[in-house]
Structure 1
Amino acid sequence: MMNLITSFLITITLPMLIMLIALTLSKKMINDREKSSPFECGFDPKSSARMPFSIRFFLIAVIFLIFDVEIVLIMPTIIIMKSSNLMVWMMSISFFIMILILGLYHEWNQGALQWEN
């Protein structure tokens, strides 16, 4: 029992001691304006380092991820077809593809797939 308590104390105190040492050593002593500003070849930046993010790019990335997940879900259905009831398989895959088509139609109607604007 004493061995268990000793090992427990070592596993708790040793990481805490290492984290405390790392925290004290990593503190910055002097806040320098040049060190905290964005680096642009040694000169002051001409414009803001934070450029506005295009929401269009974000929507395209989300749609791409959704279609990737859909493909990952559809791929195993071909292998499952041989070992399951054909009628149940056909109904389930038809239902799944119908949901995907309805989602695509909704995205199309909302204008998320218009690239020119």
Structure 2
Amino acid sequence: MNPEFKTIFYIIPLGICLILLLIFIASAFGYSRVGQSRPDPEKNSIYECGFDPFGKIRTPFAIKFALVGILFMIFDIEISLLIPWTIVFNQLDSFSTWIVYIFVLILTIGLAYEWLKGGLEWE
């Protein structure tokens, strides 16, 4: 096979793909301009959970949000790691069992901290 033919054999499909890509990009830009709207002030207003925003952005937030995050992590990690552990419980040695007991103890300490800080009280 001729070396020039081989080069053309690779360049033509690449050029076709490049042309199609440029057509696609140009059409995407064109279509984005076609449907330009004129939004009313209600659409451009700031939206915060259905209420008008109040206060400044940099105001401190309650520690309750962090406590709920800790609570979620405690239960999420506990469930995601204890379910597989219960499946292979009979195959584990005593060292592995004690490691899981220590893990559950650490999670229990986290839950006690959450409870003492009032993270479990919903208002």
Does the alignment pair 1:82 with 2:95? no
The TM-score with structure 2 as length reference comes to 0.58
| Matched residue, 2:51 | 49
State the TM-score, normalizing by the size of structure 1: 0.60
Give the aligned partner of residue 5 of structure 1: 14
**Aligned AA for 1:6?**
G
The structure-2 alpha-carbon separation of the partners of 1:35 and 1:96, relative to structure 1 and needing over 3 Å to count, comes to: closer
Structure 1 or 2, whichever has the larger Rg, is 2
Q: Unpaired runs of 5+ in structure 2?
A: 1-9, 55-61
**Counterparts of 1:27 and 1:57, CA distance in 2:** 43
What value does the CA root-mean-square deviation take over the aligned residues? Answer: 3.5
Corresponding position: 1:91 with 2:98: yes
Quick one: higher RCO (CA 8 Å, sep 6+), 1 or 2? 2
User: What amino acid does structure 1 have at the position aligned with 2:86?
Assistant: I
The change in CA–CA distance for 1:12 and 1:75 in structure 2 (over 3 A counts) is: same
Q: Does the 8 Å contact 1:81/1:89 carry over to 2?
A: no
User: Residue 25 and residue 100 in structure 1: after superposition, are their counterparts in 2 closer, same or farther (change >3 A)?
Assistant: same
Residue 108 of structure 1 pairs with residue 98 of structure 2: no
> Matched residue of 1:112: which SS?
coil
Q: Output aligned runs, 1:9-28, within 5 Å.
A: 9-10=18-19, 12-28=21-37
How many residues get paired?
Answer: 104
Partners of 2:78 and 2:104 within 8 A in 1:
no
Matched AA of 1:74: L
What amino acid maps onto 2:90 in structure 1? K
Amino acid at match of 2:25: M
Task: Return 5+ residue gaps in structure 1 as ranges.
Answer: 38-47
Distance change in 2, residues 1:70/1:7 (3 Å): farther
